[in-house]
Amino acid sequence: MPAPVRVRFAPSPTGYLHVGGARTALFNWLFARHHGGQFVLRIEDTDKQRNTAEAVQVIYDGLRWLGLDWDEGPLVGGDFGPYFQSEREAIYERYFQRLQEGGWLYEDAGAWRFRFVREVVEVDDLICGKIPFDFSHLEIMPDMTIRRPDGSWIFHFVNVVDDIEMRMTHVIRGEDHLPNTPKHIQLYRALGAEPPRYGHMPLILNKDGSKMSKRDQGASITSYLEGGYAPEAVRNYFCLLGWSPKDDREIMPLDEIIARFDLAAINRKGAHFDLAKCDWFNAQYIQQMPMERYRELVQPWLARAGIAAAAEQLDPVLALEKMKVTHFSEVPDRISFFFTEEYDYDPAAVEKTMCKSGALERLAQIAECYSTVEPFDAATLEARLKELATTLAVKPAEFIHPTRVAVSGRSVGPSLYHMLEVLGKERALARLRRTCERFAA
């Protein structure tokens, strides 16, 4: 019976979580969940000059925000720890001694090198297929350094040791690691261990085909946390960076993605990242999102803007703009005028609408008309405004535009009639009359 699937995400905490790293974590997580296996988080923190506790926290926060829980690793423990490389020194020494005793190592200018077997090593990759690597020529494939003169370890050695110790069955990573794989296979063989199955994913590229770097827009997962994105939308978009369900569907529930995820469906070509497409996903998810979830995700943005209201007061306001929102960061500005009577008037809107001849007269007329409206709901408000316009032989816009500016301070926004209904009769009439007085002075 095959061993249960065990995969890992092994980032270096050097400042931020890149979209490429997040995609690697996501695909490993999906593979583990699809097969009912284990997803392990391991922190490769041997670079003491660059690694920080803050950077480790960024990794935790980014994975949690994307909804990627780990079965073993920091904070949750497990049977194969420690899960920080900096705490595994004794394990590396033990494996180093095994290689020394086996005659696989030699010293070169204070560094220790692993002596390759001069043969062809075939990598049977689950995504890329079978690829031969010829180690025959020393000048092309020089022996590999595994330990520096200062005693610190090289990535290749500790990576393989950890995968052996943690019993990884599969290693799924970016194709930039593909040339490392035959070297790792040689280490496995020297240590008498069975290599895992490898799968190397295509790189993430910019729209122009260049490799995505940390300086490119959308490269850092933190930018999504801070930019008003829904984690489920970003996760869905990331799933399609190299993988396709083959039926042209894009928006899919997570359970279905897990059920359908297959390494064989990962494309060989580079995945082109498009932040505008990610924005589209975010808007689609927001539109389809239950109000409870929408309120939960927008709440931090409202709190920063000083907007506080109970759900029964907040939800009707949020619903007015929900279909137009792309990022949660937009919401406070869109709805702030509902929660204060000290809202500002947009100068351009005032110039275009309130300074127009007859505008204040129209405001006074609509205020008088609406003072007798019952019920004060959108349908009734719309019908009465149109009746008034017909009676006075003017276009409805003669009332709509100044009314909108009067009650919100701006010329654009949600449906006027629904906005008035949510404001309520008393507040709406007070705003109409106050605006008349202000601009008549």
Could you give the CA distance from residue 45 to residue 403 in angstroms, rounded to a whole number? Answer: 61
Residue linked to tokens 């050695």: 157
- Tell me whether strands 271-272 and 204-205 are parallel, antiparallel or unpaired: parallel
Could you give the CA distance from residue 85 to residue 91 in angstroms, rounded to a whole number? Answer: 10
Strand residues in 141-213 grouped as ranges (E): 144-147, 170-174, 197-201, 204-205
Which phi and psi (to 5°) does residue 115 adopt?
-85, 110
Give the side-chain half-sphere CA count within 13 A for 329. Answer: 10
Could you give the CA distance from residue 350 to residue 360 in angstroms, rounded to a whole number? Answer: 11
- Our answer to whether residue 183 is catalytic in this structure is no
Tell me which of 214, 246, 322, 425 is the catalytic residue: 214
Q: Which residues contact 367 (CB under 8 A, 6 or more apart)?
A: 429, 432, 433, 436
Sign, CA dihedral 70-73-75-76, equals positive
What is the distance, to the nearest Å, from the Cα of residue 326 to the centroid of all Cα atoms in its chain? 14
Could you give the CA distance from residue 229 to residue 143 in angstroms, rounded to a whole number? Answer: 47
Widest Cα–Cα separation across the chain: 101
Give the other-Cβ count within 10 Å of 316's Cβ: 15
Are the CB atoms for 33 and 1 separated by under 8 Å? Answer: no
- Tell me whether strands 204-205 and 129-134 are parallel, antiparallel or unpaired: unpaired
Q: Which residues contact 167 (CB under 8 A, 6 or more apart)?
A: 3, 6, 80
Q: What six digits make up the tokens of 384? A: 């009465």
Strand partners, 9: 41
Residue 160's nearest CA partner among 221, 100, 95 is 95
> CA separation (Å) from 19 to 214, 223, 263?
9, 10, 19
Could you give the CA distance from residue 242 to residue 246 in angstroms, rounded to a whole number? Answer: 12
Q: What six digits make up the tokens of 292? A: 């409870």
Q: What six digits make up the tokens of 65? A: 């925000």
Q: Which sequence positions are flagged as catalytic?
A: 214
